[in-house]
Structure 1
């Protein structure tokens, strides 16, 4: 399909939006599979343009460089996961156990349903500087969410802000590693078993309250 035919009848603004989406989708596919040999540094403007069917002019119409595109891709995938987790916890009832299990299951299940998600959020984010910085920001948001949930669930008990903060930090780091190990196939294939074990560990490790 020629570019003339492809964009016929489409407004300039909509064309730009669609081209931007095509480039992000191309990055999603390239990073989320082994097409780059699991090396995010191999992602280039040329590779993205080839995969999206666009020329480099259209890449620079939307992004200053590959790093900017990577950041936006990570943000989109992370926001999607956050929405899934929030919805799962909201539907889980009021008990600490059910809400904890729902959150863990949502992270592992959603990331595992599409290997590209897990690769971007938990695998490449360890090696690529741009994704690593985004991962730190995401973990900080997770820590804040865990703290808020802890306060909400235990508002009638003795306040222990420092212990709660330490617990949130440990949970955020452990959750990222749990996801990476699950996606790598190192924890078996039974999601229920992993969720139950992780939930039990989190609850045992929670700071005691009176």
Structure 2
């Protein structure tokens, strides 16, 4: 199994957490999205969307972090990251989707580049854009945790897909110096997760392509 990943990509980070939680050995293949290596012809042959991560398992190439984690849950079901209980699974997917569909897509590197290079917004406007969508999204996450969350993880005593999504998103918010004081429940989950060995192994600073 190979994981094409960039150390600072939150979508790659999600999959690294899942692999670590499941104890799955894999070869880490760096793809430097800052140098546009994800747009190279050979990479696009593996992943037509031109993003990271990409998982290679035998003859299969699979992109998109949520699809990859669902695949891993089906092929290596222990521990389960998408619960079998219908309502709990729906809650996990609900919170995960706020992050993966509402926050991340408007704040990823290609969008920020477009804002700066094409629309020519100022650095201050770009930062305001980023912080706005972090605030909107994490407010929703905090409210969902207040209504339905329980235990040290998002939903109970074991990590799920929701935790795999939450930790990288908060890490990005911290890196971008967003004010996250209004999200104590999310931050408590973040702190608990980061105390666990699997989450620590997946951190950007622990990856072979890490640069400060």
TM range (shorter): 0.3 to 0.5
Greater share of strand residues, 1 or 2? Answer: 2
Larger RCO, structure (CA 8 Å, separation 6 or more): 2
Greater share of helix residues, 1 or 2? Answer: 1
Q: Given the two structures, how large is their TM-score scaled by the length of structure 2?
A: 0.33
